[in-house]
Amino acid sequence: MSLFSRNQKNDQVTQEDIIKALSTVQDPDLHRDLVSLGMIKDIKINDGKVSFTVELTTPACPLKEKIKTDCHEAVAKIPGVSRIDIHMAANVKTHGGIPEKEEIPGVKNILAISSGKGGVGKSTVAVNLALSLIKLGAKVGLMDADAYGPNIPQMLGVKGQPETDGKQIYPPQAYGMRVMSVGLVATGDQPVIWRGPMLHSLVNQFLRQVAWEELDYLVVDMPPGTGDAQLSLTQLAPLAGAVLVTTPQEVAQSDVRRAIMMFKKVNVPILGVVENMSYFICPDNGKQYDIFGSGGGEKLAKQYKTVLLGKIPINPRIATGGDAGIPIVVAEPDSPITKEFENIAAAVAQQISIANISGQPLPVLQ
């Protein structure tokens, strides 16, 4: 049935009425109405009872409830409407990328989690951000490209080598998320010496030979620094953007600045900064202590005209959860720390969606 066709029963309320009402509701990010954006689906009318679907561009939309409320209020103004049922759905758009870079089959958006140095909790942020996207309704995979310190398997409690049929590698799953890591292939405590061509081949294999299936987001945990793995990823795949992880202290910020400039040179948008180990709340007196200083994340975001996505505190439960293979967003789903990770995930998904549906790529730092 055409979206604009009249109800065959000639009810007082028509589909044209619904469309007209919903055309006044704007997406707060895109500043266009939901009808012209193609977000209104499956309108049904029966004796004044109206139902329809709002198809968002990401299930992690932080403004989901506002959009739903605005739609309800708009339709409720139509004479003859006695009941309104709104179903909120999502269809994540594919990142357009750069024409000369081949897309990864089934993967709509690739997101790099990076830092300029080790020890800032980058892998912890990658794991909990990826799991937060899943909690918000997205299909997510996690690729551990940190060949020098592949900690993701331990942090997710994943063991055993992945299966393969000689053509594809079938990654194990943890908490509803497909996971691939060097740590699943090169097990044990012996170091693996990776040279540039080997790293390039590894990244390419993880991108194109792993059966990721259909993913809204592939989160890639990068090695520290600005070396071969980072360059290989930017050469091999169209990245939707990068999230930079820092601590408040100046030495960490200096290294993150180098990472930001590296992504600038390869035309990868910076989605924002996460300040990890931001502060400590003493359980004895409830006071906040800025152990590594304060304001580092804000300073970086302001300097490079990006956003501070969130602040993650120092909390022993984050570390113990990672050691035990039960990340904090799983172990404590209602905690303030989990909520902060969810806010970060929603903000990242929001930026990617705006770029994808508008057809305008996110700006690269100048």
**Beta strands across the sheet bearing 40-46:** 40-46, 49-56, 83-90
- Angstrom distance (rounded) from CA 366 to CA 351: 18
Type of residue numbered 335? S
pLDDT at 6: 40
Statement: residue 8 has pLDDT above 50: no
- Angstrom distance (rounded) from CA 312 to CA 318: 10
pLDDT at 294: 85
pLDDT at 188: 60
4 pLDDT band (50/70/90 cuts)?
Answer: very low
pLDDT at 130: 97
DSSP 180-243: EEGGGTS-SS------HHHHHHHHHHHHHTB---SBSEEEEEPPSSSSHHHHHHHHHS---EEE
Average pLDDT over residues 111-135: 91
3 pLDDT band (50/70/90 cuts)?
Answer: very low
Alpha-carbon distance values, 117 to 44, 253, 257 (Å): 55, 9, 10
What is the pTM assigned to this prediction? 0.87
Higher pLDDT, 223 or 18: 18
pLDDT in tens, 212-251: 999 999 999 988 766 666 777 878 888 899 999 999 887 7
Higher pLDDT, 224 or 350: 350
Report which of 123, 136, 109 is spatially closest to residue 217, judged by C-alpha positions. 109
> How far does Cα 192 stand from its chain's mean position?
30
Average pLDDT over residues 67-92: 95
